[in-house]
Structure 1
Amino acid sequence: MFRLHHVSHKGGTIPGRATQTLNRRQFLRFSTSARCLNPPVATALASETGDNHKAGALGRTTSGQRLKIRAYPKFDRLEDERLYRKQHLAAAFRVFAARGYDEGVAGHISVRDPILTDHFWLNPLSQHFSLIKVSDLILVNEKGDVVYGTEPINAAAFAIHSEIHKARPNIHAACHAHSVYGKAFSVFGKPLDMITQDSLRFYKHHGVYRHFGGIVLDPEEGKRIAECLGDGKAVILQNHGLLTVGESVDEAAFWFMSLDKTCHAQLLADAASAGSGNKKILIDDAEAEFSFKSVGTPEKGWLAFQGYYDEQLAKTNGDFLH
């Protein structure tokens, strides 16, 4: 039998206590990647391709052959999808680290487990984003108890992510970090202006949580953040930072990256406007709604992250897959 170790609760962490004793068969299902020196990379079935129209791609050769864009894989086994989600979660942390989204132990990304659907995987509290591997990820249940792993998690991460996963069954991933431009823009407690094509990814799909009560440790505040999110993909947390969600961790991670850049662009535009007296030109609702359907879909979010995933594979030689 395999039993997880108890880790004491200290200042803002969820105890790393195990609530289940896993038999050998169950443990093997959880620990495939941890046991393998070279764990398999979950890949799409050969026939799985995306919708070129939804992706905004042209793909026809001079001979008339149709070239299809890649899309989120379909899996024969849920264990393979679990591995895929964990690999892309680990990659998302590496991507966030490369962009300076780390700050001490702040920040967290979660992804729902496809087998235990009321459980989710996330990062251990004290590990730097740039070092996280698949084998480091922690699985917690709906109570915040550690089911797989031997490290504590961030209590604020559980308070926020658990309520989002409960409120949005269609959402499988959530990202929160203290990125510089997100923090800077959050102090105004206002939504984004629709001033660039990229900002249209969030047209009528982001909220502003205007209450700052310090570190989020109360599940009730997590519920309020989830309510503020509604059916959207992002929340600007006043005096705090950004939070994004998606049907995949790839999508949620890309929305976060795009949202932070959009905050940066608006800060620059606002400063230039104030300094010059020139008025910003806003994109009207009809154009914004039309463009959102092209740039703001889950398929587009997932696809947009794949280049960053490939970059991490190349730069690390797949180190995060282990």
Structure 2
Amino acid sequence: MAPSAITVLPTTEEVNKKQQLATKEKTPLQAISQGMCLPGIPSFTDFEKQRHWILEHMAGAFRVFARKGFTEGMSGHISVRDPEFPHQFWTNPLAVHFGLLKASDMILVDFDGTAIGGNLSRPANAAGFLIHSAIHKARPDVHAACHTHSKFGKAWSSFARPLDMLNQDICYLYGDAHAVYHEFGGIVFSEEEGARLAAALGPQGKGLILRNHGLLTVGTTVDEAAYLYTLMERSCEIQLMVEAAAANGIKKVLVEDEAAAYTFKMTSDPEALYWEFQPDLDYEFARNGDFKN
């Protein structure tokens, strides 16, 4: 009787190498799409149409933040660079709940702090202006920035430590993609403080932990910046849970640098991050699309 054949299974390393080779020539969005690829970020030939689309998504981001509980009194702001005039950006009015904001509520300000368009019935947040204007000045590649005083971000910020690579999702912010701003001087009311904060973010940063303050994220679209904010806030929550378990003697196991770097490479593309936010945004559209006006 002939001996039965022995099946030799590939090692994890061999499987990973095959997967990397299979996705080598694909964009991250193509790699994650089985079959027909998701479309890219919409492009426009008309600034007014692009502007309205941006403001719709900006208002939608505020609705998502409201549903996730990122509100805290008058604190918190999103800014989006105007598509036609890059030295101007849109932001939210002071003291309006995120869950009530509409596209038509946003205020257009220039880098000097002058409100020049949009809904001028309320002021913008002065501290928010200094933070966002400094970031937009320092990083021409940044088209949107998000900052709120969300619960877990505030809690983790008290440690003034970057987040550990505890799981696949936080690898979206691996390496220089997120940093810590180690100073805290209270509410930001000086240009110098805003400039130092922008410098801490760095030339490649996507997320920033502001010591004793909260979180800030940036992106090439408001969708990207908003998704990274939700991811970073959830990652702070998970880190706090893991730290509590580790304090009881359970050892943490981190993602290895090679795997974290590869995950970052395959997830940090602007189009992939844009699409990461669309399920939450679509849910808000379906629940109540009045923020589009």
The answer to whether TM tops 0.5 is yes
Per the alignment, residue 164 of structure 1 pairs with 135
Partners of 2:136 and 2:27 lie apart in 1 by: 30
Q: TM-score, normalised by structure 2?
A: 0.88
1:71 has 2:40 as partner: yes
- Over aligned residues, Cα RMSD in angstroms? 1.2
How many pairs align? 264
Question: Quick one: percent identity of the two aligned structures?
Answer: 48
- My pick for the range that moved more, 72-81 or 250-259, is 72-81
Moved over 4 A (4+): none
Which residue type is aligned with residue 184 of structure 2?
F
Partners of 2:237 and 2:33 lie apart in 1 by: 31
Partners of 2:40 and 2:230 lie apart in 1 by: 20
Larger helix fraction of residues: 2
In structure 1, the residue corresponding to 2:167 is in which secondary structure? Answer: coil
- My pick for the range that moved more, 169-178 or 141-150, is 141-150
Partners of 1:91 and 1:160 lie apart in 2 by: 22
Per the alignment, residue 265 of structure 1 pairs with 238
Per the alignment, residue 128 of structure 1 pairs with 97
1:72-112 per-residue CA deviation (whole Å, 9 max, x = no partner) reads 10112121111111110010000000000011100000100
1:173 has 2:147 as partner: no
Per the alignment, residue 189 of structure 2 pairs with 217
1:209-246 per-residue CA deviation (whole Å, 9 max, x = no partner) reads 01110001111111001000012101000000000000
Per the alignment, residue 284 of structure 2 pairs with 312
Q: Structure 2 matches for 1:227-266, cutoff 5 A?
A: 227-230=199-202, 231-266=204-239
Contact 1:52/1:58 (8 A) holds in 2: no
Per the alignment, residue 95 of structure 1 pairs with 64
Q: TM-score, normalised by structure 1?
A: 0.80
* Unaligned stretches of 5+ residues in structure 1: 1-50, 61-66
Contact 1:52/1:69 (8 A) holds in 2: no
* Unaligned stretches of 5+ residues in structure 2: 1-24
Contact 2:219/2:225 (8 A) holds in 1: yes
Contact 2:28/2:267 (8 A) holds in 1: no
How much does 1:53 deviate?
4.2
1:180-215 per-residue CA deviation (whole Å, 9 max, x = no partner) reads 000000000011111111110110111100111000
In structure 2, the residue corresponding to 1:153 is in which secondary structure? Answer: coil
Contact 1:112/1:120 (8 A) holds in 2: yes
Contact 1:245/1:252 (8 A) holds in 2: yes
**Matching residue within 258, 263, 268 for 1:286:** 258
Change (3 A) 1:305 1:98: same
